[in-house]
Structure 1
Amino acid sequence: MTQIQFSLDLDILKDSVMNSNLDTIMKSSLVLVLNQLMEKERDDYLQAGAYERSNERQDYRNGYYERDLLIGVGKIKLRVPRTREGNFSPTVFEKFSRVDQALTLSMLEMVVNGVSTRKVTNIVEQLCGQGVSKSFVSSLTEKLDPIVNKWANRPLNVQYFPYLYADAMYIKVREHNKVVSKAVYIMTAMNEKKKRQVIGLKVDHVESFEAWKGFFQELKSRGLQSPKLVISDAHAGLKKAIEREFIGTSWQRCTVHLKRNIIKKLPKKNMKQVISDLRKIYKSASGSEARATKEEFINKYGDNKKLENALNILEEGFEDSIQYLNEDDKYQINISSTNSLERLNQEIRRRERVIRIFPNTQSAFRLIGAFLMENENLQLNKRNR
């Protein structure tokens, strides 16, 4: 075992213990130990002590330089030995870089999970006694770019997804010194084993037919096959893009969105029974049963002029909203609405409220993509337990 000799000034050590806090004592002790360790490593590297003549000598001492090291109790300043030819490198910084990496990963995880950069800097300062700038935390997140880009462009031809869910949400982004709204397009998929995953993410200017069409084309270029069913709200551009890009695919109008639209058109008072009867339609076990229940609903309330607008919305959207009943019973509860994607959007929104305004489009793509990746990993870990 390597033996290291320490020369301690007991009066200085006593003063440090009596008059300093524990962190200061730990820092002082670490500085002493690590400096002495590096000195011993240089002696071993040179294969000669100070002023010693030796045929095995590899190099010569060349003084010291100071270097900071950030550790759990804060920043310490070390006296790093040098050699004349400069080939000697102590192991201290290599070993403690693992601590730096852990701290870096922790900061990234905080940002991805919706902690503001201001709070991250405060947390790091409390943990380490050394603050980091907001700009440093922001630049740190750029390390996620290659990881998120690889995930966002992964091949989709390794398995078949019979059911796709599409939706868009709006965020605020700073662009050319102005704050503008941007649409975040997200597509999730469910395979035949009822396992879901995010297969597409895009940030674009507005939600439109052209934007959805381009999004779907990108997914197809990655190997996505036409599904049996695409579930979404009734955005006209989205619906048109589904018809153009997924030939032979049925469109399922989200039943939750449709029911909300109908209920909004109902009078405010005495509608409890009407709403209950409306919901019975979507508790049907088959398309024929749903149609029969819908006709009963229309016959019961068709003469009420106050319900005319609500009934028109039901008639217009009904057939598109019961396409899920054509699928296998075991899938129907999962494919009648975009609720699973809505919940995901809510989690994104919760983190987005912390940021409020993304500094640019790439930062929005990066952080939303990183969250979606992290969320998938968590869901996978839960399933594997």
Structure 2
Amino acid sequence: MTQLQFNLDLELLKESVMSSNLDTVVKSAIILVMNEYMEKERDDYLKADAYERSAERRDYRNGYYERELTMSIGKIKLKVPRTRNGEFSTSIFEKYARCDQALVLSMLEMVINGVSTRKVTHIVEQLCGEDFSKSFVSSLTQKLDPIVNDWAKRPLNLIYYPFVFVDAMYIKVREHHRVVSKAVYIATAITENKKRVILGLSVDHAESFESWSRFFQQLKSRGLQSPKLVISDAHKGLQKAIQREFIGTSWQRCNVHFKRNIIAKLPKKDSGEIRMMIKRTFEAVTIEDMRKFKDELMSQFGDNPKYEAALNILDEGFEDTIQYMEHPEDVRCHIRSTNSLERLNQEVRRREKVIRIFPNTQSAFRLIGAVLMQYQDTVYSKQKSLKK
């Protein structure tokens, strides 16, 4: 049988070395080695050398065709052997497909991490000597679709999530030749083992009762059971959707947002005392003390018209904002606000700002879903159970 031989073109290599073109030397050597390797593969397939008569011969040689292969050193052109029946196939491209795959994955990772497609094409050109169009980079991101879709549809009935956080952020999307605003709904949770998990997302029209209901129904269709507590802001449509979709679930109004709403209605001057009493109320250790301090505050300042707007907000939303006090002490600091979800939203926003306007809804779902998956793997998965 044929032995693997290397018939190097020494004159070509000598010329490359003398001209100090190291890339050409490396490429030439790789091309020669791969061409010779494919030649041996064809000989082994045929079970006969060139011009050899053999009863075991399977087919006959039929020349070559050229095919390019992109590697980390750039693009090389190979002479691929053929047979008459066309059944022979070299393993070279299968073995080195990981180089192409690594290149694609690197490009996708750059996009997910907030690098613009323009910069991605420039970086790849510098690394590989290849010029890729922005449309090519954009088309590569479509490879994320099945991955993100599988993650977004994964079952949620294997674990019980007692505490669920929901929020919405707005993005710009091109739709019917117009730039429109769309809402991205994101849900996270804390498990009974006190670990954070991203449950899912949805891209829909402006925040409303109907859109929030659709999002919750989607989560329920994947197996999400009614949690003990849903933590969110005070959007009216969201509150109504929680009440309808999650029977027996309490609603926790974000403590941080609630206090900001109260403080925003206080006069800037001569309000130090009421501010201190508001702080004392929400820093109380027991729910009984919270209610007691709140009643004292209302009694002391209730007749002062300059505090009327702030006290109305306090009185109306107080009970919804202290629901976390009904749960174990070691988890209270983690469920009283949506701060953890807002940090996640900031991470999404950091990448979204690079794109500015998504070409369509699917591209928005794809990129934001990929960012959430990455955040789950790099941040939440590495966190230990929430500390006291």
What is the TM-score normalised by the length of structure 1?
0.94
Q: Deviations over 1:291-342 (max 9, x none)?
A: 1222343345445543332222112211111111111111111110111111
The aligned amino acid for 1:166 is V
Q: Hey, what does 1:71 align to over in structure 2?
A: 71
Task: Classify 1:32/1:265 alpha carbon distance in 2 versus 1 (closer, same or farther; 3 Å).
Answer: same
1:270-349 alignment runs, 5 A limit: 274-302=274-302, 304-349=304-349
Structure 1 position 124 matched with structure 2 position 124? yes
Task: Classify 1:318/1:2 alpha carbon distance in 2 versus 1 (closer, same or farther; 3 Å).
Answer: farther
CA contact (8 A) 2:16 2:22 kept: no
Deviation at 1:277, TM superposition (A): 3.7
Q: Hey, what does 1:214 align to over in structure 2?
A: 214
Question: Quick one: distance in 2 between partners of 1:12 and 1:374?
Answer: 47
Structure 1 position 244 matched with structure 2 position 244? yes
Structure 1 position 223 matched with structure 2 position 223? yes
Question: Quick one: distance in 1 between partners of 2:274 and 2:261?
Answer: 14
Deviation at 1:272, TM superposition (A): 5.6
CA contact (8 A) 1:286 1:326 kept: no
Question: Quick one: distance in 2 between partners of 1:211 and 1:92?
Answer: 51
Deviation at 1:364, TM superposition (A): 0.8
CA contact (8 A) 1:161 1:189 kept: yes
- Which deviates further from its counterpart, 219-228 or 61-70? 219-228
Deviation at 1:175, TM superposition (A): 0.3
Q: Hey, what does 1:19 align to over in structure 2?
A: 19
Question: Quick one: distance in 2 between partners of 1:32 and 1:284?
Answer: 78
Task: Classify 1:321/1:41 alpha carbon distance in 2 versus 1 (closer, same or farther; 3 Å).
Answer: same
Deviation at 1:372, TM superposition (A): 1.1
> Secondary structure at 1:66's aligned position in 2?
strand
The aligned amino acid for 1:144 is L
Q: Deviations over 1:163-209 (max 9, x none)?
A: 11111111000001100000111111112111121223111111001
Deviation at 1:69, TM superposition (A): 0.4
Deviation at 1:2, TM superposition (A): 8.3
Deviation at 1:145, TM superposition (A): 1.5
Q: Hey, what does 1:92 align to over in structure 2?
A: 92
The aligned amino acid for 1:52 is E
1:74-153 alignment runs, 5 A limit: 74-153=74-153
The aligned amino acid for 1:117 is T
Question: Quick one: distance in 2 between partners of 1:152 and 1:302?
Answer: 49
Structure 1 position 183 matched with structure 2 position 183? yes
Task: Classify 1:343/1:276 alpha carbon distance in 2 versus 1 (closer, same or farther; 3 Å).
Answer: farther
Task: Classify 1:269/1:21 alpha carbon distance in 2 versus 1 (closer, same or farther; 3 Å).
Answer: farther
> Secondary structure at 2:82's aligned position in 1?
strand
Q: Hey, what does 2:374 align to over in structure 1?
A: 374
Q: What RMSD in Å do the two structures reach over aligned CA positions? A: 2.1
CA contact (8 A) 2:209 2:237 kept: yes
> Secondary structure at 2:184's aligned position in 1?
strand
Question: Quick one: distance in 2 between partners of 1:234 and 1:48?
Answer: 79
The aligned amino acid for 2:21 is N
Identity %: 67
Give the aligned length: 385
Question: Quick one: distance in 1 between partners of 2:376 and 2:2?
Answer: 47
Q: Deviations over 1:44-67 (max 9, x none)?
A: 222222222222222111111111
Question: Quick one: distance in 2 between partners of 1:275 and 1:221?
Answer: 45
Task: Classify 1:92/1:276 alpha carbon distance in 2 versus 1 (closer, same or farther; 3 Å).
Answer: farther
Task: Classify 1:235/1:381 alpha carbon distance in 2 versus 1 (closer, same or farther; 3 Å).
Answer: closer
Structure 1 gaps of 5+ residues are: none
Question: Quick one: distance in 2 between partners of 1:368 and 1:54?
Answer: 61
Deviation at 1:276, TM superposition (A): 4.3
The aligned amino acid for 2:202 is K
Task: Classify 1:269/1:63 alpha carbon distance in 2 versus 1 (closer, same or farther; 3 Å).
Answer: farther
CA contact (8 A) 2:2 2:43 kept: no
Deviation at 1:150, TM superposition (A): 1.8
CA contact (8 A) 2:155 2:223 kept: yes
The aligned amino acid for 2:214 is G
The aligned amino acid for 1:162 is P
CA contact (8 A) 2:230 2:251 kept: yes
Structure 2 gaps of 5+ residues are: none
CA contact (8 A) 2:203 2:361 kept: yes
